[in-house]
A and B are shown apart, each in its own frame.
Chain A
Amino acid sequence: MSEITPAVVREHGLTAEEYQRVLDRLGRTPTLTELGVVSVMWSEHCSYKSSRLHLKKLPTKGPGILVGPGENAGIVDIGGGWAAAFKIESHNHPSYIEPFQGAATGVGGILRDIFTMGARPIAVLDSLRFGPLDDPENGARNRHILEGVVGGISHYGNCFGVPTVGGECLFDPGYSGNPLVNVFALGIFRHDQIFFGRATGVGNPVIYVGAKTGRDGIKGASMASEEFSADSEAKRPNVQVGDPFLEKLLLEACIEAMQTGAVLGIQDMGAAGLTCSTCEMGGRSGAGIEIDLKLVPQRETGMTPYEIMLSESQERMLLVAERGREAEVFAVFEKWGLDAAEIGTVTDDGLLRVNNHGETVAELQNSFLTDDAPLYDRPHTVPARSAPLDGPPVADVDSAQALDALRKLVGSADLCSKRWIWEQYDYQVRTNTTAGPGGDAAVVRVKEAGVSLAMALDGNSRYCALDPKAGAMLNVAESCRNLSVVGAQPLGATNNLNFGNPEKPEIMAQLVAAIEGIGEACSHFGAPITGGNVSLYNETLGKGINPTPVLGVVGLIPGMEAPPSSVFPAEGLTLLLLGGWMPGAEDALDRRFGSSQYARVVLGQTWGLPPALDLDFEKKVQDLTRSLVREGLVEAAHDLSDGGLAVAAAECSFGPAGMGASIAAPGDLPAVYALFHESPSRVLIAVRAETVERVQQEAAAAGVPAPVAGRTVAGFLELKVGDRTLIAAPIEGLYEAWDGALRRQLEGE
């Protein structure tokens, strides 16, 4: 057996103090297998040791929450005896090292988190971040990463048969060496079909099912807990390889096995593989688990106990069945042509005991690996700020400049159409997608329950880099606003916190502030956090990414009708701006404009503060929007966000009907602010002329300004501020700038 030297301990990412804890608890030197097991379970990825203390402050309870954080996924009630399980998970580090497989296995991992609870996955969304595609130095590499990631998601999701219905994709130089791939999945099941990852009943068999174990992905969880250095390429063997067909069979077999009633607990083998699934199943129930590695189905010969325990081979599950009914479980897996093997039993001693050919190679307390993992209150000072508070004076625009700015904005990397990406995803399979990619929120109907579910993913690192708390609150507000425009009421949320190195106090401060912001805003909008993921050490060569919390909010829509479109469907509709022209405009506008896409794209710099947000007002606007949509009064609805009024009006004009708009804003502010400032709490809706009065009455009763902004016109976009016409252009040219931008960049035109 290898000797455990200080160098070996360091290689495993354990600090001297952490290793001392191991020695104290064991009263002896750990075996190499034990050291490996401890190192992955205590890695940031598995233990949340830097974030756990702060995550506890998030709101996690609400009337519709059936299962909160701590399980494989959170669960909300959707009515009629049905429930939805959902979660978001990152696969950032593997996607940098091997984009296609890294992203593919990210999809595979989150799907297993959903169906391990008994739910059938019905929707996937993803939130992606890449370095600029036209970067002179890293552009080629960034394009390669984007194409690989999109190909991987497409390959896995399409073959598995789950629709990828939405998401977002944004760019920043900070992601050049550290792309973000956050994948969200949602599944449905009946309340009485929920399964948990718990080992119960002393003497019950522990059964391994699915793919055989190989040497792929060994120590992936530890890799995901380190910064990247110049030799990260050498970690390519740490990335797993996915097989979506096997996963599809595993889904069908697991759900069928659960229906036999012989399965008591089940957990997928994701990060840290067999190690994590055994000790977590034991840890949750307080039981022990004893396994024999010689019984584990293996793909390669000569694997050591260390390798078997730490392998992250994909498409594997661990389950505990009722003793005497194993045959029922084995019969199901045989029908689907999958391996299933009894590899151990549940014990009563709370230990994870691992045997190999008669020798005990690891014996550790489950709770020592899970609940008692290190917990750090890392120092946090003032959040790192990426830009100055004050910027240059902002010149107002004339008509030529305004149109030029709008063309630049709609063709910019963040705001352009992402059709090149989402047309590679099968967003319709299962024929439930009533609002697919490209809109504010994705909507899928749930035929079984007679309702629809809306989902939105949003992250805004531009705002968070300037003020992580305010930025995080704006993220939550936008996600919930995106749900309200399709008529959905938030049920719950999941978050993926992507940050740099938490050992740096100014980075830790960003994390703490963002969690506070998410907590406050989620409480306000009635969207408790049901779980999520924390991805730290997103740094390359010592440079961290902008703080990037990503929120995934799930909402309920009664009924199964398609929601109003986010594009104008017809000519002659009246446009109303719910929330008014510029809420919060009086407060430090020159500083707040520095966080806008206009500042970034047109002026080429960023400064100042995120837009002002009034949570109470925001909620009024959302509640009003939702009820107008549900009353059937709204023909089209789109919220104002990146790029402000002008970009929102343009996006609404890019629909198949070729309908544009004529909009007139008041002239009390400089036109550049009226057109491009990103005040939140605003929704542009199109209504029939005969319902304008009723809509305005309801808005007045709700305390929300709803001025008439204009009307829809065919083929043309016109925006006036005061008595000046700033933008007047055919839709076609703007559409081409918007629709083809990503393809042109990728194809190097």
Chain B
Amino acid sequence: MKFGVVIFPGSNCDHDALYALESNLGQEAVPIWHQSEDLQGCDAVVLPGGFSYGDYLRAGAIAHFSPVMKAVKRFADSDGLVIGICNGFQALTEAHLLPGALVRNANLHFVCKTVHLAAGTKDSPFTSHCPSTPLAIPVAHGEGRYHADAATLDELERADRIAFRYCDAEGKLTEAANPNGSARHIAGVLSEGRNVLGMMPHPERAADPVMGSTDGRCIFESMIGALSLAS
């Protein structure tokens, strides 16, 4: 499959995503510059982590005005698979491709550590290959606390659109296991069409055994599986 990794000025997990997709998962992966509207015929688009445009307004706020985001919106509207990781998730909520917002962590500090995630649903092109046991995947963000009004949160739950929740190693949704104070432990959500995923944790950092965990691979493997079925 061919993945496109969008590069905004200030993206800094772009190379990590390209490396994980090419070297760890054996896929074709190409960079897409933010000023381009050409997605180069990619089967799926990755919005990587970083601090796009410095994040001086709100994380991800400026990124969604860039030419590439117009193309990404069109791609998403035509059922293309889009995954936004960390800053990419923030950009997707700013672009209203996903509901809610990511606000400052509850303890006000940036946090980098490996957390556990429970897949909230198997019914998506991003989670179909995920095991039912918790996934160990790192987070690294200062603004990752998922926020939405109660009605939106209820609707996300009702429509089975919560892709991942923060949990402990046993899968329990404890207060201590929620690294940023996210509403209802939400770590990742799906779009209404289930073809757009935003998640704060970094699956590309958990794709290589030498980095300590390969639990992030199942997310990309789910995507590859879904794309193979579609083609």
Contacts and interface: CB of A to CB of B under 8 A. Distances in A.
A431 B10 contact: no
A173 B198 CA distance: 47
B9 A337 contact: yes
Given A248-B10, A249-B9, A337-B9, A424 B54 contact: no
A311 interface: no
B86 to A, nearest CB: 10
A245 B54 contact: yes
A161 B50 contact: yes
Nearest to B207: A431
Contacts of B16: 429-431
Given A161-B12, A245-B10, A429 B140 contact: yes
A159 B140 CA distance: 11
A447 interface: yes
B15 A430 contact: yes
Nearest to A337: B9
B111 interface: yes
A657 to B, nearest CB: 12
Interface in A134-161: 151, 154-155, 158-161
Contact of A159 (B20, B54, B113): B54
A445 interface: yes
A614 interface: no
Contact of B140 (A155, A337, A428): A428
Interface residues of A, number: 32
Given A158-B140, A161-B12, A245-B10, A425 B210 contact: no
Contact of A428 (B56, B111, B211): B211
B210 A561 contact: yes
A430 B208 CA distance: 12
B138 interface: yes
Contacts of B204: 431
Nearest to A452: B210
Interface string A557-576: 00011100000000000000
Contact of B210 (A246, A248, A562): A562
B15 A423 contact: no
Nearest to B17: A431
Interface in A155-195: 155, 158-161
B110 A428 contact: no
B109 interface: yes
Which interface residue of B56, B142, B202 has the most chain A CB atoms within 10 A?
B142
A21 to B, nearest CB: 45
Given A245-B56, A423-B111, A431 B51 contact: no
A401 B49 CA distance: 50
A445 B208 CA distance: 12
A160 B20 CA distance: 21
Interface string A20-38: 0000000000000000000
A483 B110 CA distance: 29
Given A427-B112, A428-B205, A430-B15, A445 B54 contact: no
Contacts of B75: none
A447 B204 CA distance: 16
Interface string B12-29: 110110011000000000
B50 to A, nearest CB: 6
A254 to B, nearest CB: 14
Nearest to B35: A335
A18 interface: no
Contacts of B111: 423-424
A424 B109 contact: yes
B10 A159 contact: yes
Which interface residue of A154, A243, A336 has the most chain B CB atoms within 10 A?
A154
A562 B212 contact: yes
B110 A154 contact: yes
Contacts of B55: 159, 245
Which interface residue of A245, A426, A433, A445 has the most chain B CB atoms within 10 A?
A426
Given A424-B110, A426-B140, A160 B210 contact: no
A368 B142 CA distance: 48
Which interface residue of B20, B112, B140, B210 has the most chain A CB atoms within 10 A?
B112
B54 A160 contact: no
Contacts of B210: 434, 445, 560-562
Interface in A423-476: 423-431, 433-434, 445, 447
Contacts of A428: 112, 138, 140, 202, 205, 211
Given A336-B9, A431-B19, A562-B212, A158 B110 contact: yes
A154 B112 CA distance: 10
Interface string B35-55: 000000000000001110111
Interface string B192-205: 00000000001011
A424 B10 CA distance: 19
Contacts of A426: 110, 112, 140
B12 A429 contact: yes
Contact of B205 (A248, A424, A431): A431
Nearest to B113: A423
A389 to B, nearest CB: 45
A485 B177 CA distance: 32
Contacts of A161: 12-13, 50-51
A245 B50 CA distance: 10
Contacts of A249: 9-10
A244 B56 CA distance: 11
Nearest to B56: A245
A424 B53 contact: no
A429 B51 contact: no
Nearest to A560: B210
A136 to B, nearest CB: 26
A454 B143 CA distance: 31
A447 B9 contact: no
Interface in B39-80: 49-51, 53-56
Contacts of A561: 210
A160 B210 CA distance: 24
A592 to B, nearest CB: 39
Interface in B186-226: 202, 204-205, 208, 210-212
A424 B109 CA distance: 6
B215 to A, nearest CB: 14
B114 to A, nearest CB: 9
A655 to B, nearest CB: 12
A155 B55 CA distance: 11
A423 B111 CA distance: 5
Contacts of B202: 428
Contacts of A433: 211
A426 B10 CA distance: 15
Nearest to A422: B112
B208 A431 contact: yes
Nearest to A155: B110
Contacts of B208: 431
Nearest to B209: A562
Nearest to B54: A245
B205 A159 contact: no
B51 A159 contact: yes
B9 to A, nearest CB: 6
A151 B108 CA distance: 10
Contacts of A445: 210
Contact of A245 (B13, B51, B140): B51
Contacts of B13: 161, 429
Nearest to A435: B212
A245 B110 CA distance: 17
A158 B53 CA distance: 14
Interface in B119-170: 138, 140, 142
A391 to B, nearest CB: 41
The 3 closest A-B pairs by CB, nearest first: A161-B12, A245-B54, A159-B51
13 contacts: A154-B110, A159-B10, A160-B12, A161-B51, A243-B54, A245-B51, A423-B109, A426-B110, A428-B138, A428-B140, A431-B205, A433-B211, A434-B210
Given A248-B10, A428-B211, A430-B16, 6 more contacts: A151-B109, A161-B13, A425-B110, A428-B112, A428-B138, A431-B16
